Amino acid sequence: MNQVVLTGFADEISDDATEQIITLQKTGLSHLEFRGVGGENVLDLSPAAVTAFKQQLDDAGLGVSAIGSPIGKVQARSDLEAHFDRFRIAVERAHQFSAGYVRIFSFYHEGEEADQVRDLVLAQMYRMVDHAETEGVVLLHENEKGIYGDLPERCVDLLQSVDNPHLRAAFDGANFLQSGADSRRDAWPALKRYVDYFHIKDVEAQSGRVVPAGRGDTGLEAILRDALAQGFRGFLSVEPHLKAGDADFGGTGAQRFETAVEALRQVLQRLGAEVVQPGQAISRKTK
């Protein structure tokens, strides 16, 4: 039976570190994808804040699955030298929090067609991957609406062109659907050989409403079934994006996070997947 490890964006629970940790423990997660704490982005934390939060996580027995950086969420024709300096911080954070992955994006291209910025994007991706390889971390490209790699064919272009094991994919079916791609029919078959990591949320195609796993139109359950059949073992990162005022799935940040985790657990139970519990040994190391 394939093992999966549940993680999530704890900054959707609360800005408060203690509330993040309590909710992660309550929902039985062993890791978080670190995007922010204390109202600050992970890249903007002071050295003291880094040390303090790392100690809190260690004391709670929680790991960091990935640094959920905003790298690549800038215009392709912006100051990429300054942005590369930010990228170096993201890699440093991966070392500080013993995370094997850094989440990145592939740059916006406002006012231009995607193919007009392809060379710029690839040049920056090559540069970041070279640094990641030197530093011993793996970059996860997340598909996101409006960036170069928003559609399956351009994600494949990036991954094939760079062709380096230090660049892999974080698959987000909801983002594909919101970009106009069929996540189950088109995105997953094209990308599954590159996927190390999943972002878990779902969306209704007609309304655009974000819903818990298995409640929308991304084909998430079928995608995970195929991933498991293909031998996937790795992180499933809960990214609720549920609205506080949603009549069915709203509430506080902690309540929405709990709703999202429970929905994913129900999907995994139907699939017969084994979820690694906090403190449980993983039979094969996840990256």
DSSP character at residue 116: G
Q: In 10 A of CB 56, how many CB atoms?
A: 15
Domain boundaries defined on the chain: 3-275
Please say whether the beta carbons of 189 and 155 come within 8 A: no
Chain center to CA of 271: 21
Model pTM? 0.95
Helix or strand (DSSP H, E) at 139: strand 138-142
DSSP character at residue 11: G
CA dist., res. 63 & res. 287, Å (int): 13
pLDDT at 170: 98
Q: In 10 A of CB 136, how many CB atoms?
A: 11
CA dist., res. 182 & res. 85, Å (int): 35
Paired sense of beta strands 138-142 and 202-203, if any: unpaired
Q: Which of 4, 250, 183, 78 is nearest to 105 (CA)?
A: 78
CA dist., res. 179 & res. 211, Å (int): 17
Paired sense of beta strands 234-238 and 3-8, if any: parallel
pLDDT at 287: 38
pLDDT at 100: 97
Please say whether the beta carbons of 43 and 69 come within 8 A: yes
CA dist., res. 95 & res. 102, Å (int): 10
DSSP character at residue 277: P
User: Tell me, what amino acid is at 62?
Assistant: L
Residues paired with residue 33 on neighbouring β-strands, in sequence order? 66
CA dist., res. 190 & res. 184, Å (int): 10
For the domain 3-275, what is the CATH superfamily, name and number? Divalent-metal-dependent TIM barrel enzymes (3.20.20.150)
Please say whether the beta carbons of 54 and 97 come within 8 A: yes
pLDDT in tens, the chain (287 residues): 578 999 999 999 999 999 999 999 999 999 999 999 999 999 999 999 999 999 999 999 999 999 999 999 999 999 999 999 999 999 999 999 999 999 999 999 999 999 999 999 999 999 999 999 999 999 999 999 999 999 999 999 999 999 999 999 999 999 999 999 999 999 999 999 999 999 999 999 999 999 999 999 999 999 999 999 999 999 999 999 999 999 999 999 999 999 999 999 999 999 999 898 876 655 544 43
pLDDT at 280: 66
CA dist., res. 83 & res. 78, Å (int): 8
